[in-house]
């Protein structure tokens, strides 16, 4: 089990140490559950009131919050408690699952595959014709990577993920369990036979440092490519429809979805369970509130909420008016 002194943690975070903690810190924990020997986080004033009843030995605290640590307890004051928490959680992170051998004997790897230095491939994985894996790619057990796919350096692919043919993936990406990349888009047209399937002959192109959560689906393009730009972060259970294009550093929370041919600018944030209509553009820096339904373009930097989604300030006025009307 990992443990650190409070001085070692302060050195890691480059904060301001206040008070004294003689305990070795064995784990981080939320403030209500923390025990002696654990460290917690106070990034907002609403959590500061919980400190007096907390059993934590130390806390990482936002520099703007004015409280005292108490006897044999310590604070590490930082400018951003959330970023400091991320750094500390990384220090406490357990070791990744062990590979007994770099390439498991039950993995099926086509003779045309190109493997970079230090690749690891787990049991029962399948790597198809002309696939290229960069240096340090980790493929956990039961992953399928189909023909003509290219994956960049230091990318990690967790069990159950399926990457369909012709996909292009950048460096330092993470795909969690059961991600589907490059399946057919959803396209049918009425015909004399009932519903005629529209073939999707494009692919998926994913940039660098993209992370995709468990059970999310990214469909391939009908004609060209579905694209995720550098740094995009996709939560669990997200649907990205065919020919959608995401700019850099977009965030999509769980159960949200893009229909086909949606365009997101840079830094767009989509809240949980939000739905975006096909052929809609959400411009850079815009935010879509949780549960909202976007049926029209959203201007850069605007926040929209509701169903159908409307400017957040306008929607708040409508909600207030409805509440007054209900009260009579």
Q: According to the model, what pLDDT value does residue 320 have? A: 83
- Asked if 195 and 177 count as a contact pair (C-beta separation under 8 A), the reply is no
Planar angle of CA 101, 107, 113, nearest 5 degrees = 100
CB 229 within 8 Å of CB 211: no
- pLDDT tens sequence across 42-64: 999 999 999 999 999 999 999 99
- Please tell me the chain's helix, strand, coil percentages from 3-state DSSP, rounded to the nearest 5: 15, 30, 55
d(Cα 144, Cα 127) in Å, to the nearest integer? 6
Return phi, psi of residue 221, to 5°.
-70, 155
Could you tell me which residues are beta bridge partners of residue 97?
Answer: none
Asked if residue 301 has pLDDT above 90, the reply is yes
| CA-based radius of gyration for the chain | 24
Go through the chain and tell me how many residues it has: 328
Q: Which two tokens stand for residue 261?
A: 């041919």
pLDDT tens per residue, range 236-291: 999 999 999 999 999 999 999 999 999 999 999 999 999 999 999 999 999 999 99
Contact between 104 and 141 (Cβ < 8 Å): yes
* Under 8 Å between Cβ of 148 and 131: yes
Identify whether the C-beta of residue 163 lies closer than 8 Å to the C-beta of residue 178: no
State yes or no: cis peptide before 188, omega within 30 of 0.
Answer: no
200 noted as active-site residue = no
What does the CA dihedral 9, 14, 15, 20 come to, rounded to 10 degrees? 40
- Distances from the Cα of 263 to the Cα of 44, 46, 130, 296, angstroms: 34, 37, 31, 12
**One of 98, 176, 200, 242 is an active-site residue; which one?**
242
- Residue 230 makes CB contacts below 8 A (sequence gap 6+) with 170, 207, 208, 209, 210, 248, 249
265 neighbors 247 (Cβ within 8 angstroms): yes
pLDDT at 321: 81
pLDDT value at 328 more than 80: no
pLDDT in tens, 206-247: 999 999 999 999 999 999 999 999 999 999 999 999 999 999
Give, in order, the Cα–Cα distances in Å from 121 to each of 55, 126, 178: 44, 9, 16
pTM of structure: 0.94
pLDDT bucket at 318, cuts 50 / 70 / 90 = confident
Helix (H, G, I), strand (E, B) or coil at 316: helix
Kindly give the residue spans of alpha helices, DSSP state H, lying in the chain. Answer: 6-13, 45-48, 81-92, 312-327
CA distance 323 to 317: 10
pLDDT of residue 1: 79
Instruction: Note the pLDDT tens digit of each residue in 179-195.
Output: 999 999 999 999 998 99
Q: Is the pLDDT of residue 310 over 80?
A: yes
Tens digits of residue pLDDT in 102-134: 999 999 999 999 999 999 999 999 999 999 999
Integer Cα distance of 198 and 194 in angstroms: 13
Strands 180-183 and 203-206: unpaired
Q: What is the pLDDT of residue 325?
A: 84
Condensed to tens digits (0 to 9), the pLDDT of residues 141-194 reads: 999 999 999 999 999 999 999 999 999 999 999 999 999 999 999 999 999 989
């Amino acid at each position: 089990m990992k443990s650190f002194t409070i001085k070692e943690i302060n050195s890691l975070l480059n904060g301001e140490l206040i008070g004294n903690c003689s305990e070795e810190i064995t784990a981080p924990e939320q403030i209500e559950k923390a025990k002696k020997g654990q460290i917690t986080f106070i990034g907002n004033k609403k959590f500061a009131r919980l400190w007096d009843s907390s059993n934590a030995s130390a806390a990482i605290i936002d520099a703007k919050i004015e409280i005292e640590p108490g006897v044999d307890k310590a604070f590490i004051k930082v400018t951003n408690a959330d970023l400091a928490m991320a750094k500390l959680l990384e220090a406490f992170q357990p070791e990744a699952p062990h590979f007994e051998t770099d390439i498991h004997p039950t993995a099926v790897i086509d003779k045309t595959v190109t493997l970079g230095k230090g690749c690891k491939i787990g049991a029962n994985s399948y790597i198809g014709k002309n696939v290229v894996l960069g240096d340090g790619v980790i493929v956990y057990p039961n992953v399928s990577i189909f023909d003509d796919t290219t994956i960049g350096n230091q990318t990690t692919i967790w069990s159950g993920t399926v990457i369909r043919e012709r996909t292009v993936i950048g460096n330092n990406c993470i795909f969690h369990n059961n991600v589907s990349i490059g399946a057919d888009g959803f396209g049918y047209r009425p015909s004399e036979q009932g519903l005629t399937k529209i073939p999707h002959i494009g692919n998926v192109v994913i940039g660098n440092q993209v992370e995709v959560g468990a059970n999310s689906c990214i469909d391939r393009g009908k004609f060209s490519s579905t694209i995720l730009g550098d740094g995009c972060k996709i939560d669990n259970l997200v649907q990205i429809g065919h020919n959608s294009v995401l700019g850099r550093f977009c965030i999509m929370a769980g159960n949200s979805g893009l229909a086909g041919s949606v365009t997101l600018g840079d830094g767009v944030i989509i809240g949980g369970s939000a739905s975006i209509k096909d052929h809609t553009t959400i411009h850079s820096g815009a935010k879509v509130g949780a549960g909202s339904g976007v049926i029209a373009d959203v201007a850069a930097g605007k926040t929209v909420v509701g169903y159908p989604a409307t400017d957040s300030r306008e929607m708040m006025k409508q909600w207030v008016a409805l509440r007054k009307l209900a009260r009579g």
